[in-house]
Amino acid sequence: MKILVTIPVQERHRKRFQNIAPEAEFIYRAAGETDRELVQDMDIIIGNVNPALIAGTQNLKWLQLNSAGTDGYLAEGILPPGASLTNATGAYGLAISEHMLGMVLVLKKKLDRYMKNQLDGVWKDEGNVTSVWGSTTLIIGLGDIGSQFAIRMKALGSRIIGIRRTRAQRPEFVDELYQPDHLDACLPQADIVAMCLPGTRETQQIMNRQRLGKMKREAILVNVGRGTAVDTQALTDALREGSIGGAALDVTDPEPLPPDHPLWKAPNLILTPHVSGQYHLAETHERILEIAACNLEAFLKGQPLKNVVDPATGYRALP
C-alpha cells in the first residue's frame, strides 16, 4: 500500500503513521512538489493535492484533506468510484474563531484608527466605541468554526442567533437557531454578522446587495468562510456609503485581491489574506494530523472514518 503525505510532519508524526501502518510505503512531499505520475500511483493521500492530478486514478481508495473546504475535489471525474473523501473539520475552530474575535474587537474599539494615528504620530481621541456585551451576533454557518466563535461571543455577553443548513438541537451557547430561510428576518437584529460558510452553489453571494441593505447601519460583517459568499462590489459600496458599520474579512472574491481593487481603501475594513486558519497556529497543525492518524487507523481496520464528506453537499456528512 502506497500512502502520500503532503502535510508537513516532524519525525514523531512519521513514526506514528508508520506504527499505524507498518507495512505501508509512505512518501512525504509538499503539495506543490507532487506530479500526476506520483499521485496516480497512490492508494491513500493524506493532505491536499491539486485535484487535476487525481483525475483518472484507479488506485485511490481514500483522500484525507488537510482543509475543511472541499473545493474542486467533488467535481465529476476527480475521485474514482468508491473512494472515500474526508476533511479536517474540527481542526480550525480554535484558530479562526480567535482571529474573528480579534478583528471584531479591533473595529468595535477603533484600534485600527489608533494604529494609524500611532504611525502618523497623531495624539487623537477617536470618540465613542461599542461593546460585545449586550450585542446580538448572527452566525451564518454553525459548524465547528461558527460554534467556536459563538461560544466566545456568548462568554463576552452577546446574544447569539445561529443559522445552519439542517435542523438540529439548539446548543446551549446559542439563544435562537434557524434554517437559511429565516436569514432575512434575522439580519436587521444583528450587530455582528459572522459568515462561516463553505464555497458551494448555495452559498454563492448569499450576502448580496439586498441583504447588506437589511443590516443595521452600525453592524459589522465578518467573513472567514469563502469570499464568494459576499458580493464584493456591493460590500465595497456599503462601506464607502457608511450603510454598514464595518467589515472584517479573511477571504475575498477575487482572491488574492488585486492591488488596485477599491475594497482595499474602503473605510472601517480589517482585511487579512486568508491566514486565519492554515498552520499559523501550531495547535491547528497538530489537530489536523491527529484527525489524519485516527482516520488512517480506522481505515486499515475497516472502521467508520471521521469527517466523511457528503458528495451531494460538500459538507461533512451528518451522523
Active site residues per annotation: 226, 255, 274
E-strand spans in the chain?
2-5, 25-28, 44-46, 62-64, 84-86, 136-140, 159-163, 176-178, 192-195, 220-223, 246-249, 269-271
Alpha helices in 21-143 (DSSP H): 36-40, 51-54, 93-108, 111-120
Considering all CA atoms of the chain, what is the largest pairwise distance in Å, rounded to the nearest integer?
Answer: 66
Spatial distance between the Cα atoms of 165 and 50, rounded to a whole number of angstroms: 28
Q: Which amino acid is at 128?
A: N
Question: Using an 8 Å Cβ cutoff, are 273 and 281 in contact?
Answer: no
Among 85, 97, 135, which residue's Cα sits nearest to residue 277? Answer: 97
Which 8-state DSSP code applies to residue 228? G
Neighbours of 214 (CB within 10 A): 17
C-alpha cell of residue 204: 454563492
